[in-house]
Amino acid sequence: MSPVHIFTDGACKGNPGPGGWAALLRNGAAERELVGSEAHTTNNRMEMLAVIRALQALKRPCTVEIHSDSKYVIDGITKWVHGWQKKGWLTAARKPVLNADLWRELIEAAAPHQIGWNWVRGHSGHAENERVDRLASAAAEKAR
| 76 in catalytic set | no
| 101 in catalytic set | no
36: helix, strand or coil? strand
Cα–Cα distance, 122 to 113 (Å, whole number): 25
| 123 in catalytic set | yes
| 113 in catalytic set | no
| 69 in catalytic set | yes
| 141 in catalytic set | no
Catalytic residue among 5, 36, 47, 67: 47
Catalytic residue among 5, 9, 20, 67: 9
Catalytic residue among 10, 19, 20, 76: 10
CA torsion angle for 83, 108, 63, 115 (degrees, to 10)?
Answer: -20
Catalytic residue among 5, 19, 67, 69: 69
Contact 72, 26 (CB under 8 A): no
Enzyme catalytic residues? 9-10, 47, 69, 123, 133
